[in-house]
Amino acid sequence: MTLKYHTQMSDELSMHLLTTPIVYRLLTFKSSPQRTKLVAVLLTVLFTVVMVTHMVMDEFLLHATTFGLAVYIIATRTLKLISQQVPDERIRKNLRNIALFGCFNFAFGYFVWLLDNWLCSGLTSLKHSAGLPLAFLLELHGWWHIFTCIGGYVGVALVDAITSGQVREDPVPHLAWPIPTAARFLGGADASPKRE
């Protein structure tokens, strides 16, 4: 097996290592111990089946579909929990905007990842023809990492905030760049940290 194959598989494993714990936290928030155990077992089995199938058979569709489904579950459950867990309308609006910003980053990252998988040889030829610095813009695999990283960070930060209890203070100003900047751009509440 080639180095490229191992690198690709570890990239794709990391996609599920990011989404599976977030899905678990969202599906077990305020759940009974029995439901929590059931969800843990089901997600472990699903994760194992998807990754073994993907790695052994070099299968792509199941992997891509389950990742897309996980992102969908994260987006819909997060937006629902924001409505339930955030009593202040201003903070709720700001968190919704940031959640949608994270969804956009995930979706765009997922889109360029799919393009990179489908058009890899053509893109490689085009990058060689264009040369630097233009080839940098066509490095879709790199862009996928950047956008998915932003979307993943938003997902982890928001899910952590809203499942830690009712949100009484806006956590957005305390998040890493580019989240406060995106909040200001999206018309949310003042996203600069308050001075004590």
Task: List, as residue ranges, the binding site.
Answer: 141, 145
- Could you tell me if 153 and 172 are in contact, meaning their C-beta atoms sit under 8 angstroms apart? no
3-state DSSP call for residue 115?
helix
Q: Determine which helix (DSSP H) or strand (DSSP E) holds 19, and give its type and residue range.
A: helix 3-28
> Residues annotated as binding site for Zn(2+)?
141, 145
Among 181, 185, 188, smallest CA distance to 86 is for: 188
Q: H or E element: which one contains 104?
A: helix 89-118
Burial class (CB in 10 A: 0-12, 13-18, 19+), 27: middle
